[in-house]
A and B are shown apart, each in its own frame.
Chain A
Amino acid sequence: MTKLVYFAWVRERIGLPEEDVDLPETVKTGADLLAWMKTRGENYEAALAMDNAIRIAVDQEHVEHGEALGAPREIALFPPMTGG
């Protein structure tokens, strides 16, 4: 199982702060993850519609969409950051 965590409008549009999922074997990169997520329901499709506005962190480190995910404990999806 992999823990998925969501923040800001990604969290609001999906309607959950986090969930545990079994990732299919076809999900190898961040881009694969987003494509698979969008098949899980309208809320996911709405939250993740703009791929280039979604940032991905694997075990609390930023990754690019094309990078391999490995076998993480936790993957986070969130919009571009607005701290500071």
Chain B
Amino acid sequence: MAAEPVIRVQRDNFDAAAESARLTEDRTDVGAVVTFTGLCRDENGTLSALELEHYPGMAEAEIGRIARQAAERWPLTGLTVIHRYGKIAPGENIVLVAAASSHRQASFEAADFLMDFLKTRAPFWKKEHRTDSSDGGWVEAKQADDTAAERW
């Protein structure tokens, strides 16, 4: 891969379109960009925010390890991963994976792989805050996410 993956762990929001554009800027060899944005979702009108706790240092390191695995496995021309922490309201961005390659399959598969491993290996934990000011507790890890990661 021409460029090292770009990894950012940040409190601030990100601009998915600008991140995607950066992967194709000044080059003509990119045939495909797959961009995945994960958002904070409120299923029944009771969530006021998710609080994302993270392990500073390891969060960046672990995302870096997963991103390098993806870059070794698929012929990517560029890869950007951004994960936010702190309090995030419903509708706001949480995570971005943008994978660029010559042909679409590498971008699709790398983005899917990245998300499966971010879910199960990147040190972030979500706590729910309810609209009635009560503490909704920590979100539980899902077996389906482990199963999804195992297929790679």
Contact = CB atoms under 8 A, between A and B. Distances in A.
A62 B149 CA distance: 16
Q: Main SS of chain B's interface residues?
A: mixed
A76 B66 CA distance: 19
Contact of B139 (A60, A78, A82): A82
Contacts of B120: 80-81
A12 B97 CA distance: 31
Interface string B115-152: 10011111111110000000000111100010000000
A68 B114 CA distance: 28
Among A9, A61, A62, A84, chain B packs the most CB atoms within 10 A around the CB of A84
Interface residues of A, number: 16
A74 to B, nearest CB: 9
Interface residues of B, number: 28
Contact of B124 (A5, A76, A82): A82
Contacts of B53: 7-8
A30 to B, nearest CB: 16
Interface of A: 5, 7-9, 57, 60-62, 76, 78-84
Interface of B: 38, 52-55, 57-58, 61-62, 83, 94-95, 115, 118-127, 138-141, 145
